[in-house]
Chain A
């Protein structure tokens, strides 16, 4: 596919465990290393990934990069002027993998600086367009968004979602102990970063309706990091005001703990209003957990009919009613689990990796 000495490396803005772009880069790195040397580089790096991800300066200092014969695969999910400048100045061929950029409006009051980076992201994508040799999108929804930004030839390249690896993990003893001690009813699970566009507030409202009027012994876990401390505090206050002490926000967890939460869940729910793909829903299906979601962004194509998809206007009462239906009806539950199995069977990471390589071979 590439000439001798040509290397394919990947760039992400912020490398962090659980971040969709970072996880995608790691998933593709495995297959790129079959072709030649391949590393992941980032503008900012979570300390837990310090040995695994290099800085942009590390890439520039890497032997053999001066001639510009390499290929850079850039995973776009947010803006960052330093990364954009770096990519504009580098001579390498540039491949874009678009994970979508969350609309900035969701963050204006919570984190204005973050909102500005999101807004920058769309401007930067337009600026990078003449530099991009190949534009890949991880869902049809993302492809349409990229076309709207002026990209003519956008190809679909699904994420290599490897649920088998997650399912094979042992349970985390501490999480098992917590669940054994405290969980005394069905668990409603959300997995994802706790961010405004994912509407954790709506989940708490729906859970309030669920336990007050429909399923009093239900529990809720919102599993994922909450990068904005102020927003987390607002959610905590809301949780306390509603006396939802059986709603848990355990924060970012290890892969083993995540697998444990999936194993304990009776239903998975997401009411997110913006998702480029929605990987946790696929993970839930892999664990035979029925999925309830709202029809926003890429969620309908990700579920592909295998979840209880509520209309986008779904209010907390309708969400609660849907959760109660899944928790209370064996038939609905069985149908959703079976549909999830069928949908999950079509998720083949190796095929996704092969498709990515094929696209890359065409362009490079």
Chain B
């Protein structure tokens, strides 16, 4: 069994070895030229220019508000008044124009109902897309990137075995 001293890592030697590995991978092209600069530039740009704040928009809450506003109907128009006798006046006017009010409400309802259903369908589609992106597309993309990286490593290894610059 190794003693404590024998088991002590030689950090300086290890760092020198790591530096040599980095240099070899750079020379072989495994690490593309400008890799660090590209990363630094990318983050520097984000930090300098910031990120536009994401405005939280709860589409489901808005749809619920929309649903609560339907169906439209004369009964939802208040007939109360703060003025003495005002309620009676409102009731008389409401009865007088009931046919026209109903007609307008029916037209608006005919527009609002399909509009609400369309927005609901769109929201569901967006949510479905988001799930697909998160659960399928990104992992698939990641798998492709991993396979590409593995292929590049294999190619570099083969070049190294053949006495290439990665050796």
- List residues of chain A with CB under 8 Å of any chain B CB: 109-110, 201, 204-205, 208-209, 211-213, 216, 230, 233-234, 236-238, 241-243, 245-246, 305, 308-311, 315-318, 321-322, 325, 332, 334-336, 338-339, 342
Contact = CB atoms under 8 A, between A and B. Distances in A.
Nearest to B25: A213
9 closest cross-chain pairs (CB), A and B? A335-B9, A205-B39, A216-B146, A233-B51, A201-B43, A321-B18, A237-B51, A234-B46, A315-B36
B57 to A, nearest CB: 17
Given A216-B150, A234-B43, A335-B8, 10 more contacts: A201-B43, A209-B31, A211-B146, A234-B47, A238-B46, A243-B142, A310-B18, A317-B35, A318-B18, A318-B19
A241 B42 contact: yes
Contacts of B48: 109
Q: Is the interface of B mostly helix, strand, loop or mixed?
A: helix
A325 B39 contact: no
Contact of A212 (B9, B47, B138, B145): B145
Contact of A321 (B7, B21, B53, B149): B21
Nearest to B9: A335
Contact of A308 (B9, B141, B146): B9
A245 B138 contact: yes
Given A201-B43, A305-B8, A342-B4, A310 B15 contact: yes
Given A213-B25, A233-B51, A234-B47, A316 B39 contact: yes
A334 B149 CA distance: 28
A114 B50 CA distance: 18
A233 B52 CA distance: 9
A335 B141 CA distance: 37
A246 B40 CA distance: 20
A98 B53 CA distance: 37
A322 B9 contact: no
B22 interface: yes
Interface in B7-32: 7-9, 11, 14-15, 18-19, 21-22, 25, 30-31
Contacts of A309: 11, 15
Nearest to A309: B11
Contact of A339 (B9, B21, B51, B141): B9
B138 A213 contact: no
A230 B31 CA distance: 31
A243 B9 contact: no
